[in-house]
Amino acid sequence: MTDLAIDVRGMTKRFGSLVAVDHIDLQVPYGTICGFLGPNGSGKTTFIRMLCGLLRADEGSGQCLGFDVIRDSERIKRQVGYMTQKFSFYEDLSIAENLDFVARMYAVPNRRDAVQKCLERLGLAPRQKQLAGQLSGGWKQRLALAACMLHEPKLLLLDEPTAGVDPQARRDFWEQIHELAAEGLTFLIATHYMDEAERCHRLAYIGYGHLLVQGALQDVINTAHLTTWAVSGPDLLPLRDALRKHPGVTQAVPFGNTLHVSGSDAVLLEQAIAPHRREPYVWHQIESSLEDAFMLFMSQASKHRDEQLRRSNSQSAA
């Protein structure tokens, strides 16, 4: 018995000439919350659907919850909860009626007891008679999470679960996630929010089908090998534009009343900012953040995609 809930290698999915997921390796231990990051269209949803058996991989091997990820997709489905991006429950049914319907689909034993237990576990019991269509975004999210858990899965795959949800509801949601993980549940959560990513035990960044990095938060930041300076002063936008012309500057991005200036080569970066290290500007070196690393990875992924497109166009023309 492995200690990995997800242990897959070379996972690949093609749609015609488009390679949506390109030979991804991913390992997630049991009881871990793994944040799945990447720009829109990077392949996150496709990968999640392959893991839970909704899409069949064209290439790849490995295990999910101890089952072969290719041959045992039906058995994996029984032990996985999948929360889609879009709310997909009947708005003219109550919370309890929606959960009862889901329990019937999964043939959950002692269905009514299971539904009541789930309502209480996620704080839905006082609202159980309320119509789903009348719920706010946060309560809809909680209903969707409850539906994922009715059949007592071991792995939850959540695809941008807090999109459009207010900050308080997001915080409540993440507290619930950590409580469930402490009970042994494993999570793979696609998100665009950096503050949410920082709440995860591990992170994996996918860019246009390629897994660029995975590991703990600080490991991911360190992989970017960034040096970052913060500068304050007047007229920061012209300064930003001037700095972006230097080869040593990977990114120059406004953060409130400051500008964050980063580079992968500390010496080249120092040469780039040296002419501007004078009044009225105030400079100080800071720790690179996950967002700094995220922007670098996004830039690298975009360049890789553009290069692939150029090669593809060249081959087509030939």
Catalogue all structural domains in the chain, each as residue range(s) with its CATH number: 225-287 (3.30.70.260)
Q: 283 and 269 in contact (C-beta within 8 Å)?
A: no
pTM: 0.86
Nearest Cα to Cα of residue 244 among 270, 265, 262, 257 = 262
Confidence of residue 86 (pLDDT cuts 50, 70, 90): confident
Nearest Cα to Cα of residue 291 among 251, 240, 318, 257 = 251
What pLDDT does residue 299 have? 79
Q: Position 66: which residue type?
A: G
Q: What is the pLDDT of residues 16-72, one digit of tens each?
A: 988 999 999 999 999 999 999 988 888 999 999 999 888 999 999 999 999 999 999
Q: What is the pLDDT of residues 266-278, one digit of tens each?
A: 999 999 999 999 9
Tell me the β-bridge partners of 227: 263
Q: With DSSP H G I counted as helix, E B as strand and the rest as coil, what are the percentages for the chain, rounded to 5? A: 40, 25, 30
Non-local CB neighbours of 126 within 8 Å, separated by 6+ positions? none
Tell me the average pLDDT across 280-307.
85
Number of Cβ atoms within 10 Å of the Cβ of 164 = 12
The two tokens of residue 188 are 């793979």
Q: What is the pLDDT of residues 224-265, one digit of tens each?
A: 999 999 999 999 999 999 999 998 999 999 988 999 999 999
Q: Position 277: which residue type?
A: R
